[in-house]
Structure 1
Amino acid sequence: MTATRNPAAAFYASPTARGIAALLRGLHRVSPDLGTRVALHLFFTPMPTKWLARSRAVPRPWVERRLPFEGGHISVWQRSDVEPGRPRVLLVHGWAGDAQQLRDQGDTLAAAGFDPLLLDLPAHGRSSGWRSNLLQWVRALFAVSARFGPWDGVVAHSLGALATAHALARGLPARRAALLALAPPPAQFMRWFAQAMGTGDALAARMRGRVEQREGVSLGHFEPTWLGERVGQPTLIVHDRGDVTAPLSGSETLVAGLPAGRLHVTEGLGHRRLLSDPAVMRLVSSHLAAAQPPALRVV
């Protein structure tokens, strides 16, 4: 099993971040309730900031469409040169990422005969908002599926893969799934965050309690053991052995519980380079094309 590291420690090592951590520790000592609110505000704000993704030019044939969502919108991207009736695949990015990270995979799927759809999750890419959380991501997945699904396949990266696995366990309509660099569950990220801030596990416990109370969902439902018993789709998991952001152990635990799971371990690709690795993209396409039936309903 891969040793668990704390990726948040390196992220919050800059002088500015250390100042923020010191401020949070002070608030936490004076008022644990206020410290928890500020911690959640920081925790649910994706970094780096998203205006670069909003201004980035996206080459044709990819075109953007916007769907109303929770008082704002979510952006989806489709290829204008794909004829109707092809098997449709949803592609989902991770935290602090955006849809364009999966454009190479989308192009590979289009060349293999699929109709790919890229999603900018809330507060990411060109979707509206500046803060988001995993439960909102799950709702966004169901919202876009209500408009464009059901899916012949879904491909998801990192925290997007965790949100997708939870959505699949809750009935997201998809025939097959490919999960890339599966992120640890949110309770683990909260512990890492609290450790990096120097506040200890008490803050992580309060953060978890606040989120579960507000959302009405146990964060235990994002644990690999819970998901493994409930995701029934044939699922390919791809994970790099040296991934320091998302330890391999989470994917190993999930695949052990899946009734139709397969784990492919890469070397030297890290957390994000596997998204554009030609061998990985071909593997994902082959997995989604296996025993391909006629295309599902196309809107």
Structure 2
Amino acid sequence: MATYGAFAGVAATLRTASSGYFWARLCFGAFSRIAPGAAAWALHALYRRPALTRRYSRRERALLRDAATLLKGAERLDTPVVTRTGRGVLRAYHFRSDGQTRGLALLLHGWTADARAMAAFIGPLVAAGYDALVVDLPAHGGSSGVVTDAESGADAVASMLAARGLTPDHVIGHSFGGAVSSVLAAAGATPRSVVSIAAPSAMAAALDELALAYALSDAARARLLARAGRLSGRPLDEYDVRRIWRARDSAILVIHAPEDDSVSYTHAERFRALPNARLAPTHGVGHREIVRHQACIEATMAHITSVDRVAI
């Protein structure tokens, strides 16, 4: 899933500056007609480097400062990991509940974000008796790396979990983090519950959407798909939540805003084919803001606790 998730993140962050998006779309569109292979390579290289498309508003920076203060109260875990993009260190923050824990919740942020973006879930989880493990995915936050993708992110998280002897009972993934959680499942991870928040659901669809967003020619689009398939080492249609999660027992909650202009609601609707998935449309909230939205947090906590009640 080398492109699964991150392409949507690039499109979203570049669009935050309308003039920047206009010129990027114009350049990629024209370039793809002159040199389709080179244009496909350039866009593929761009999406794998989160630092190139990271932008925060003034309000977001203030919220992130508050979140950074919260993270100082956690046990910081810096773990050496090996991924397909190389060796590095993965940073995570472990919050422990008072008394006997009800389970471990793994929190995975979106593209260009970091652990701070998932801070709104930490208090409710700990208050409900859960431990929370919040990760900086590779090439994000305090983790090492410049280049990453969903497969590398899953490699790093799996390596860190194994090294620390941790097994998540619940996984909460936003956008790119949701794609990482699906790759973890494809590799065998089966948490009791999963919350997928505004996440892409199919690699080929994400590629098509990116090609359309940047006006790639048909030839460049085909090169982009071919390159992604070569790097992933598997047919692209295998990277679809309808195939990945069908054989899993995990209870899945899909939270997505129908108005999301970064990752379209069609990605949420693919989960309808799964008997173990439930959709929770969250109206009127932006793609990045959804992880701080009270309705999202309440729905997440209700899902996790209800799954645990059934398990008992």
TM-score (norm 1): 0.82
Q: Report the counterpart of residue 48 of structure 1 in structure 2.
A: 53
Contact residue 86 and residue 114 of structure 1 kept, 8 A: yes
Q: Report the counterpart of residue 69 of structure 2 in structure 1.
A: 58
**Kindly tell me: are residues 50 and 73 of structure 1, through their superposed partners in 2, closer, same or farther at Cα, counting changes over 3 Å?**
farther
Q: Which runs of 5+ in 2 are unaligned?
A: 1-7
Contact residue 106 and residue 133 of structure 2 kept, 8 A: yes
Give the distance between the partners of 1:143 and 1:229, measured in 2 at CA.
25
Deviation at 1:273, TM superposition (A): 2.6
Q: Report the counterpart of residue 80 of structure 2 in structure 1.
A: 68
3-state DSSP of counterpart to 1:264: strand
Does residue 104 (structure 1) correspond to residue 109 (structure 2)? The answer is no
Q: Report the counterpart of residue 168 of structure 2 in structure 1.
A: 151
Q: Report the counterpart of residue 199 of structure 1 in structure 2.
A: 216
Q: Report the counterpart of residue 11 of structure 2 in structure 1.
A: 8
Give the distance between the partners of 1:205 and 1:83, measured in 2 at CA.
55
Does residue 229 (structure 1) correspond to residue 229 (structure 2)? The answer is no
Query: Bigger shift: 41-50 or 265-274?
Result: 41-50
Query: Bigger shift: 211-220 or 7-16?
Result: 7-16
Contact residue 78 and residue 117 of structure 1 kept, 8 A: yes
Query: Bigger shift: 256-265 or 120-129?
Result: 256-265
Q: Report the counterpart of residue 89 of structure 1 in structure 2.
A: 105
What are the Cα deviations for residues 68-106 of structure 1, in whole angstroms up to 9, with x where unaligned?
123111110122675565411101111122111111102
Does residue 124 (structure 1) correspond to residue 129 (structure 2)? The answer is no
**Kindly tell me: are residues 184 and 178 of structure 1, through their superposed partners in 2, closer, same or farther at Cα, counting changes over 3 Å?**
closer
Contact residue 141 and residue 164 of structure 1 kept, 8 A: no
Deviation at 1:108, TM superposition (A): 0.9
Moved over 6 A (4+): 50-53
Give the aligned CA root-mean-square deviation in angstroms: 3.2
Deviation at 1:170, TM superposition (A): 3.0
3-state DSSP of counterpart to 1:139: helix
Q: Report the counterpart of residue 114 of structure 1 in structure 2.
A: 130
Contact residue 137 and residue 153 of structure 2 kept, 8 A: yes
TM-score (norm 2): 0.79
Give the distance between the partners of 2:69 and 2:133, measured in 1 at CA.
14
**Kindly tell me: are residues 117 and 36 of structure 1, through their superposed partners in 2, closer, same or farther at Cα, counting changes over 3 Å?**
same
Q: Report the counterpart of residue 3 of structure 2 in structure 1.
A: none
More helix by share: 2
